Protein backbone atom coordinates (compact mmCIF):
# COMPACT_ATOMS: atom_id res chain seq x y z
CA UNK A 1 0.00 0.00 0.00
CA UNK A 2 1.33 3.38 -0.96
CA UNK A 3 2.25 5.70 1.98
CA UNK A 4 -0.19 8.41 0.88
CA UNK A 5 -3.09 5.92 0.76
CA UNK A 6 -2.11 4.54 4.16
CA UNK A 7 -2.18 8.03 5.67
CA UNK A 8 -5.59 8.74 4.11
CA UNK A 9 -7.01 5.52 5.50
CA UNK A 10 -5.54 6.23 8.92
CA UNK A 11 -7.00 9.72 8.84
CA UNK A 12 -10.42 8.36 7.96
CA UNK A 13 -10.17 5.85 10.79
CA UNK A 14 -9.33 8.62 13.26
CA UNK A 15 -12.28 10.67 12.02
CA UNK A 16 -14.60 7.70 12.43
CA UNK A 17 -13.36 7.05 15.97
CA UNK A 18 -13.69 10.74 16.91
CA UNK A 19 -17.15 10.99 15.35
CA UNK A 20 -18.27 7.85 17.15
CA UNK A 21 -16.94 9.24 20.44
CA UNK A 22 -18.72 12.54 19.95
CA UNK A 23 -21.90 10.71 18.99
CA UNK A 24 -21.83 8.63 22.17
CA UNK A 25 -21.00 11.69 24.28
CA UNK A 26 -23.86 13.68 22.76
CA UNK A 27 -26.36 10.81 22.64
CA UNK A 28 -27.94 11.75 25.96
CA UNK A 29 -28.40 15.34 24.84
CA UNK A 30 -29.83 14.26 21.50
CA UNK A 31 -32.20 11.88 23.30
CA UNK A 32 -33.38 14.72 25.56
CA UNK A 33 -33.87 17.04 22.61
CA UNK A 34 -35.95 14.40 20.87
CA UNK A 35 -37.94 13.99 24.10
CA UNK A 36 -38.67 17.72 24.16
CA UNK A 37 -39.88 17.61 20.56
CA UNK A 38 -42.32 14.76 21.36
CA UNK A 39 -43.13 15.75 24.93
CA UNK A 40 -46.65 16.93 24.15
CA UNK A 41 -47.55 14.44 21.41
CA UNK A 42 -51.01 12.94 21.75
CA UNK A 43 -49.77 9.38 22.18
CA UNK A 44 -47.16 10.21 24.83
CA UNK A 45 -48.27 13.24 26.80
CA UNK A 46 -50.05 11.43 29.66
CA UNK A 47 -47.13 9.10 30.29
CA UNK A 48 -44.52 11.83 29.78
CA UNK A 49 -46.11 14.04 32.42
CA UNK A 50 -45.48 11.42 35.12
CA UNK A 51 -41.99 10.48 33.90
CA UNK A 52 -40.15 13.78 33.49
CA UNK A 53 -37.15 12.39 35.39
CA UNK A 54 -36.50 9.98 32.52
CA UNK A 55 -36.06 12.84 30.05
CA UNK A 56 -34.39 15.70 31.94
CA UNK A 57 -31.79 16.26 34.60
CA UNK A 58 -33.25 16.65 38.05
CA UNK A 59 -32.55 17.46 41.70
CA UNK A 60 -33.94 14.99 44.21
CA UNK A 61 -35.69 16.45 47.25
CA UNK A 62 -35.65 13.76 49.96
CA UNK A 63 -38.29 13.71 52.64
CA UNK A 64 -37.55 14.06 56.31
CA UNK A 65 -37.98 10.91 58.38
CA UNK A 66 -41.30 11.96 59.90
CA UNK A 67 -44.89 10.81 59.65
CA UNK A 68 -46.37 12.54 56.59
CA UNK A 69 -49.41 14.76 56.79
CA UNK A 70 -52.32 13.19 55.00
CA UNK A 71 -55.54 15.04 54.27
CA UNK A 72 -58.36 12.89 55.64
CA UNK A 73 -61.04 11.52 53.36
CA UNK A 74 -64.64 12.40 54.25
CA UNK A 75 -68.08 11.80 52.81
CA UNK A 76 -68.17 12.00 49.01
CA UNK A 77 -69.49 15.31 47.75
CA UNK A 78 -72.28 15.82 45.24
CA UNK A 79 -70.48 16.61 41.99
CA UNK A 80 -71.83 19.31 39.67
CA UNK A 81 -73.71 18.30 36.55
CA UNK A 82 -71.28 17.99 33.69
CA UNK A 83 -68.29 17.12 35.87
CA UNK A 84 -67.58 13.83 34.07
CA UNK A 85 -67.90 15.52 30.67
CA UNK A 86 -65.51 18.23 31.82
CA UNK A 87 -62.83 15.75 32.94
CA UNK A 88 -63.12 14.00 29.58
CA UNK A 89 -63.05 17.16 27.46
CA UNK A 90 -60.13 18.63 29.38
CA UNK A 91 -58.09 15.39 29.54
CA UNK A 92 -57.96 15.58 33.34
CA UNK A 93 -55.56 13.03 34.80
CA UNK A 94 -56.22 13.76 38.48
CA UNK A 95 -58.54 15.90 40.59
CA UNK A 96 -58.84 16.32 44.35
CA UNK A 97 -61.40 18.57 46.05
CA UNK A 98 -60.71 19.55 49.66
CA UNK A 99 -63.19 21.24 51.99
CA UNK A 100 -61.89 22.47 55.37
CA UNK A 101 -58.96 20.07 55.20
CA UNK A 102 -61.08 17.02 54.29
CA UNK A 103 -60.89 15.33 50.86
CA UNK A 104 -64.43 15.20 49.53
CA UNK A 105 -63.54 13.97 46.04
CA UNK A 106 -60.49 12.24 44.57
CA UNK A 107 -60.31 10.64 41.15
CA UNK A 108 -57.86 9.84 38.35
CA UNK A 109 -59.93 9.91 35.15
CA UNK A 110 -57.10 9.51 32.62
CA UNK A 111 -54.11 7.27 33.36
CA UNK A 112 -51.00 6.21 31.48
CA UNK A 113 -50.22 2.69 30.35
CA UNK A 114 -48.74 0.82 33.29
CA UNK A 115 -49.73 3.48 35.83
CA UNK A 116 -50.85 1.06 38.54
CA UNK A 117 -51.11 3.56 41.41
CA UNK A 118 -51.97 7.01 40.03
CA UNK A 119 -52.25 8.46 43.55
CA UNK A 120 -48.49 7.94 43.91
CA UNK A 121 -47.51 9.39 40.52
CA UNK A 122 -45.31 12.48 40.65
CA UNK A 123 -46.97 14.87 38.21
CA UNK A 124 -45.30 17.80 36.47
CA UNK A 125 -46.44 21.14 37.88
CA UNK A 126 -45.57 23.34 34.93
CA UNK A 127 -46.30 26.91 36.00
CA UNK A 128 -48.02 25.94 39.25
CA UNK A 129 -44.40 25.81 40.44
CA UNK A 130 -44.34 29.60 40.21
CA UNK A 131 -46.75 29.83 43.16
CA UNK A 132 -44.43 27.59 45.20
CA UNK A 133 -41.53 29.93 44.44
CA UNK A 134 -43.67 32.89 45.48
CA UNK A 135 -44.21 31.18 48.82
CA UNK A 136 -40.48 30.62 49.25
CA UNK A 137 -39.90 34.30 48.48
CA UNK A 138 -42.49 35.09 51.16
CA UNK A 139 -40.61 33.03 53.74
CA UNK A 140 -37.36 34.84 52.90
CA UNK A 141 -39.11 38.21 52.97
CA UNK A 142 -40.69 37.38 56.33
CA UNK A 143 -37.36 36.44 57.93
CA UNK A 144 -35.53 39.51 56.57
CA UNK A 145 -33.29 37.69 54.08
CA UNK A 146 -34.83 39.71 51.22
CA UNK A 147 -36.36 42.68 53.04
CA UNK A 148 -37.04 45.09 50.17
CA UNK A 149 -39.12 43.96 47.20
CA UNK A 150 -38.34 47.22 45.44
CA UNK A 151 -34.61 46.49 45.39
CA UNK A 152 -33.18 45.92 41.89
CA UNK A 153 -32.77 42.30 40.87
CA UNK A 154 -29.14 43.04 40.02
CA UNK A 155 -28.45 43.59 43.73
CA UNK A 156 -28.72 39.81 44.17
CA UNK A 157 -28.12 38.67 40.57
CA UNK A 158 -25.24 40.84 39.31
CA UNK A 159 -24.84 38.77 36.15
CA UNK A 160 -28.02 40.49 34.90
CA UNK A 161 -26.30 43.89 34.80
CA UNK A 162 -26.42 45.13 31.23
CA UNK A 163 -29.22 42.74 30.29
CA UNK A 164 -32.88 43.54 29.71
CA UNK A 165 -33.39 43.01 33.46
CA UNK A 166 -31.05 45.85 34.45
CA UNK A 167 -33.35 48.29 36.26
CA UNK A 168 -36.14 45.83 37.07
CA UNK A 169 -37.08 45.38 40.73
CA UNK A 170 -37.90 42.18 42.59
CA UNK A 171 -41.53 43.28 42.74
CA UNK A 172 -41.54 43.81 38.96
CA UNK A 173 -40.55 40.20 38.28
CA UNK A 174 -42.91 38.86 40.95
CA UNK A 175 -45.73 40.65 39.10
CA UNK A 176 -44.54 39.67 35.60
CA UNK A 177 -43.95 43.36 34.89
CA UNK A 178 -40.26 43.35 33.97
CA UNK A 179 -40.89 44.82 30.49
CA UNK A 180 -38.56 42.20 28.99
CA UNK A 181 -39.35 41.09 25.44
CA UNK A 182 -40.10 37.36 25.51
CA UNK A 183 -42.27 35.26 23.19
CA UNK A 184 -44.35 32.83 25.28
CA UNK A 185 -46.05 31.08 22.33
CA UNK A 186 -45.76 27.34 22.96
CA UNK A 187 -46.95 26.57 19.44
CA UNK A 188 -44.12 28.54 17.78
CA UNK A 189 -41.00 26.36 17.48
CA UNK A 190 -38.74 29.45 17.45
CA UNK A 191 -40.44 31.24 20.37
CA UNK A 192 -38.36 32.19 23.39
CA UNK A 193 -40.22 29.74 25.62
CA UNK A 194 -39.39 26.86 23.27
CA UNK A 195 -35.79 28.01 22.89
CA UNK A 196 -35.63 27.94 26.68
CA UNK A 197 -36.96 24.37 26.65
CA UNK A 198 -34.15 23.33 24.35
CA UNK A 199 -31.64 25.04 26.64
CA UNK A 200 -32.97 22.85 29.43
CA UNK A 201 -32.94 19.68 27.33
CA UNK A 202 -29.39 20.23 26.07
CA UNK A 203 -28.03 20.86 29.55
CA UNK A 204 -27.12 24.49 28.90
CA UNK A 205 -27.36 27.40 31.34
CA UNK A 206 -30.70 28.98 32.20
CA UNK A 207 -28.85 31.82 33.93
CA UNK A 208 -26.92 32.45 30.72
CA UNK A 209 -30.16 32.41 28.74
CA UNK A 210 -31.72 35.02 31.04
CA UNK A 211 -28.61 37.22 31.00
CA UNK A 212 -28.58 37.01 27.21
CA UNK A 213 -31.96 38.74 26.86
CA UNK A 214 -31.37 42.35 25.85
CA UNK A 215 -34.63 43.74 24.48
CA UNK A 216 -37.49 45.39 26.37
CA UNK A 217 -40.94 46.42 25.15
CA UNK A 218 -41.71 48.81 28.03
CA UNK A 219 -40.05 50.28 31.12
CA UNK A 220 -39.98 47.83 34.02
CA UNK A 221 -42.99 48.05 36.33
CA UNK A 222 -45.18 49.78 33.77
CA UNK A 223 -47.02 46.98 31.96
CA UNK A 224 -47.95 43.39 32.74
CA UNK A 225 -47.01 40.64 30.32
CA UNK A 226 -46.75 36.98 31.24
CA UNK A 227 -43.14 35.97 30.59
CA UNK A 228 -41.97 32.83 32.36
CA UNK A 229 -38.33 33.87 32.37
CA UNK A 230 -39.27 36.46 35.03
CA UNK A 231 -39.76 33.55 37.41
CA UNK A 232 -36.28 32.24 36.66
CA UNK A 233 -34.96 35.66 37.65
CA UNK A 234 -36.79 35.34 40.99
CA UNK A 235 -34.85 32.12 41.44
CA UNK A 236 -31.60 33.93 40.64
CA UNK A 237 -32.44 36.55 43.27
CA UNK A 238 -33.17 33.88 45.88
CA UNK A 239 -29.93 32.04 45.12
CA UNK A 240 -27.94 35.27 45.23
CA UNK A 241 -29.48 36.35 48.53
CA UNK A 242 -28.94 33.02 50.28
CA UNK A 243 -25.98 31.40 48.55
CA UNK A 244 -28.04 28.21 48.29
CA UNK A 245 -29.90 26.36 45.57
CA UNK A 246 -33.68 26.53 45.29
CA UNK A 247 -34.47 22.80 45.64
CA UNK A 248 -32.73 22.61 49.02
CA UNK A 249 -34.26 25.88 50.20
CA UNK A 250 -37.78 25.05 49.06
CA UNK A 251 -37.49 21.61 50.61
CA UNK A 252 -36.28 23.01 53.94
CA UNK A 253 -38.55 26.05 54.19
CA UNK A 254 -41.79 24.82 52.59
CA UNK A 255 -42.00 21.16 51.63
CA UNK A 256 -40.45 19.57 54.72
CA UNK A 257 -42.76 21.54 57.07
CA UNK A 258 -45.68 20.41 54.88
CA UNK A 259 -44.59 16.80 55.54
CA UNK A 260 -45.58 15.53 52.13
CA UNK A 261 -46.20 11.86 51.45
CA UNK A 262 -43.90 11.33 48.45
CA UNK A 263 -40.45 12.80 47.80
CA UNK A 264 -40.67 15.33 44.94
CA UNK A 265 -38.01 16.40 42.48
CA UNK A 266 -37.15 19.52 40.46
CA UNK A 267 -36.03 19.50 36.85
CA UNK A 268 -32.70 21.30 36.42
CA UNK A 269 -30.48 22.65 33.69
CA UNK A 270 -27.01 21.26 32.96
CA UNK A 271 -25.55 23.30 35.82
CA UNK A 272 -27.87 21.93 38.49
CA UNK A 273 -29.99 25.09 38.51
CA UNK A 274 -33.66 24.33 39.14
CA UNK A 275 -36.25 24.95 36.46
CA UNK A 276 -38.18 27.06 38.95
CA UNK A 277 -40.74 28.33 36.48
CA UNK A 278 -42.27 24.90 35.93
CA UNK A 279 -40.12 21.97 37.01
CA UNK A 280 -41.65 20.62 40.22
CA UNK A 281 -42.95 17.06 40.21
CA UNK A 282 -45.35 16.24 43.07
CA UNK A 283 -48.36 13.98 43.70
CA UNK A 284 -51.81 15.48 43.29
CA UNK A 285 -52.50 14.91 46.99
CA UNK A 286 -49.44 16.94 47.91
CA UNK A 287 -50.44 19.74 45.54
CA UNK A 288 -53.72 19.79 47.46
CA UNK A 289 -51.80 19.76 50.75
CA UNK A 290 -49.88 22.88 49.66
CA UNK A 291 -53.13 24.54 48.58
CA UNK A 292 -54.69 23.73 51.94
CA UNK A 293 -51.78 25.46 53.68
CA UNK A 294 -52.25 28.60 51.58
CA UNK A 295 -56.03 28.51 52.10
CA UNK A 296 -55.35 28.27 55.82
CA UNK A 297 -53.32 31.48 55.85
CA UNK A 298 -49.88 29.84 55.71
CA UNK A 299 -50.47 27.19 58.38
CA UNK A 300 -50.40 23.44 57.73
CA UNK A 301 -51.47 21.00 60.47
CA UNK A 302 -50.59 23.57 63.13
CA UNK A 303 -47.21 24.55 61.63
CA UNK A 304 -46.81 28.07 60.24
CA UNK A 305 -44.84 28.03 57.00
CA UNK A 306 -45.39 31.55 55.63
CA UNK A 307 -47.10 34.60 57.09
CA UNK A 308 -50.76 35.45 56.63
CA UNK A 309 -49.58 38.87 55.43
CA UNK A 310 -47.63 37.29 52.56
CA UNK A 311 -50.50 35.01 51.60
CA UNK A 312 -52.80 38.02 51.33
CA UNK A 313 -50.29 40.30 49.60
CA UNK A 314 -49.12 37.73 47.08
CA UNK A 315 -52.64 36.63 46.08
CA UNK A 316 -54.13 40.13 45.83
CA UNK A 317 -54.27 41.48 42.25
CA UNK A 318 -51.52 44.09 42.03
CA UNK A 319 -50.07 43.82 38.53
CA UNK A 320 -51.20 46.24 35.83
CA UNK A 321 -53.20 43.71 33.80
CA UNK A 322 -55.56 44.70 31.02
CA UNK A 323 -59.26 45.22 31.65
CA UNK A 324 -61.31 42.06 31.22
CA UNK A 325 -58.36 39.69 31.60
CA UNK A 326 -57.28 37.44 34.43
CA UNK A 327 -55.57 39.45 37.16
CA UNK A 328 -52.17 38.73 38.68
CA UNK A 329 -50.41 39.04 42.03
CA UNK A 330 -47.01 37.65 42.96
CA UNK A 331 -46.97 34.52 40.77
CA UNK A 332 -50.63 33.80 41.53
CA UNK A 333 -53.58 34.22 39.14
CA UNK A 334 -56.88 35.83 40.12
CA UNK A 335 -59.94 35.37 37.86
CA UNK A 336 -61.16 38.71 36.52
CA UNK A 337 -64.45 38.63 38.47
CA UNK A 338 -63.17 36.77 41.53
CA UNK A 339 -64.39 37.57 45.02
CA UNK A 340 -61.81 38.31 47.68
CA UNK A 341 -59.82 35.20 48.60
CA UNK A 342 -60.35 33.37 45.29
CA UNK A 343 -57.18 32.76 43.30
CA UNK A 344 -55.11 29.97 41.73
CA UNK A 345 -51.82 28.60 40.59
CA UNK A 346 -52.05 27.67 36.92
CA UNK A 347 -49.87 25.68 34.55
CA UNK A 348 -50.01 24.74 30.89
CA UNK A 349 -51.91 21.65 29.75
CA UNK A 350 -54.35 21.87 32.65
CA UNK A 351 -52.46 22.05 35.95
CA UNK A 352 -54.26 24.00 38.69
CA UNK A 353 -54.45 24.67 42.38
CA UNK A 354 -57.67 26.66 42.77
CA UNK A 355 -58.31 28.17 46.20
CA UNK A 356 -61.46 29.70 47.65
CA UNK A 357 -60.38 30.83 51.10
CA UNK A 358 -63.76 32.05 52.40
CA UNK A 359 -65.27 28.64 51.63
CA UNK A 360 -62.22 26.66 52.76
CA UNK A 361 -62.08 24.88 49.41
CA UNK A 362 -59.05 23.73 47.43
CA UNK A 363 -59.25 22.07 44.02
CA UNK A 364 -56.03 20.43 42.81
CA UNK A 365 -56.07 19.34 39.17
CA UNK A 366 -53.54 17.76 36.85
CA UNK A 367 -54.15 17.33 33.16
CA UNK A 368 -52.79 16.60 29.72
CA UNK A 369 -55.06 18.98 27.83
CA UNK A 370 -53.55 19.66 24.43
CA UNK A 371 -56.37 22.14 23.74
CA UNK A 372 -55.59 24.25 26.81
CA UNK A 373 -54.85 27.34 24.67
CA UNK A 374 -58.19 27.35 22.86
CA UNK A 375 -60.59 30.22 23.49
CA UNK A 376 -62.81 29.70 26.50
CA UNK A 377 -60.92 26.75 28.01
CA UNK A 378 -59.51 28.69 30.98
CA UNK A 379 -62.92 30.20 31.67
CA UNK A 380 -64.53 26.74 31.46
CA UNK A 381 -62.06 25.41 34.02
CA UNK A 382 -62.63 28.27 36.43
CA UNK A 383 -66.37 27.84 36.07
CA UNK A 384 -66.06 24.17 37.07
CA UNK A 385 -63.85 25.05 40.04
CA UNK A 386 -66.44 27.56 41.21
CA UNK A 387 -69.23 25.04 40.84
CA UNK A 388 -67.24 22.59 42.95
CA UNK A 389 -66.60 25.22 45.63
CA UNK A 390 -70.17 26.51 45.63
CA UNK A 391 -71.64 23.02 45.90
CA UNK A 392 -70.78 23.18 49.63
CA UNK A 393 -72.94 26.29 50.19
Q: What is the pLDDT of residue 25?
A: 43
How far is it, in rounded angstroms, from Cα 140 to Cα 152?
16
Q: What is the pLDDT of residue 13?
A: 54
- Judged on CB neighbours under 10 Å (0-12, 13-18, 19+), 270 is middle
Q: What is the pLDDT of residue 351?
A: 98
Using an 8 Å Cβ cutoff, are 235 and 133 in contact?
yes
Q: Could you tell me which residues come within 8 angstroms of residue 230 by beta carbon, excluding any fewer than 6 positions away?
A: 172, 173, 174, 176, 178, 180
Q: What is the pLDDT of residue 47?
A: 97
Q: Return the biggest CA–CA distance within the chain.
A: 93
Query: What are 366's strand-pairing partners?
Result: 94
pLDDT tens for 292-316 read 999 999 999 999 999 999 999 999 9
Average pLDDT of the residues in 54-68:
93
Q: What is the pLDDT of residue 188?
A: 85
Q: Could you tell me which residues come within 8 angstroms of residue 286 by beta carbon, excluding any fewer than 6 positions away?
A: 258, 260, 261, 262, 264
**Number of other residues whose CB lies within 10 A of the CB of residue 45:** 20
pLDDT tens for 148-193 read 999 999 999 999 999 999 999 999 999 999 999 999 887 788 898 8
Q: Mean pLDDT across the chain, nearest whole number?
A: 92
**Model's pTM, two decimal places?**
0.91
Q: What is the pLDDT of residue 22?
A: 45
Alpha-carbon torsion 236, 237, 242, 247, what sign? negative
| pLDDT tops 90 at residue 198 | no
User: What is the DSSP-derived secondary structure letter of residue 126?
Assistant: T
Helix (H, G, I), strand (E, B) or coil at 255: helix
Using an 8 Å Cβ cutoff, are 149 and 198 in contact?
no
How far is it, in rounded angstroms, from Cα 144 to Cα 262?
30
Q: Could you tell me which residues come within 8 angstroms of residue 183 by beta carbon, excluding any fewer than 6 positions away?
A: 191, 192, 193
For residue 34, name the pLDDT band (cuts at 50, 70, 90).
low
Using an 8 Å Cβ cutoff, are 214 and 167 in contact?
no
How far is it, in rounded angstroms, from Cα 34 to Cα 98?
38
Amino acid sequence: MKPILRWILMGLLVLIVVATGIGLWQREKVTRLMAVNSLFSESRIVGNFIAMNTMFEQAEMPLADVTPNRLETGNPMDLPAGFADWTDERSVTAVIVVKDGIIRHESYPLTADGEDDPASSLRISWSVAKSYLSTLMGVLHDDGTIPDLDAPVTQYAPSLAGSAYDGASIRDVLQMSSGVTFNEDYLDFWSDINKMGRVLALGKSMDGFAAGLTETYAPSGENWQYVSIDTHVIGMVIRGATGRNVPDLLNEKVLTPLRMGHAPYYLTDGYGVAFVLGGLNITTHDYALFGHMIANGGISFGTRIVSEDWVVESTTPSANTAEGEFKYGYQWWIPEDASEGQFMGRGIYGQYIYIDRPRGVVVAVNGADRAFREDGVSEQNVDMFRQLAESFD
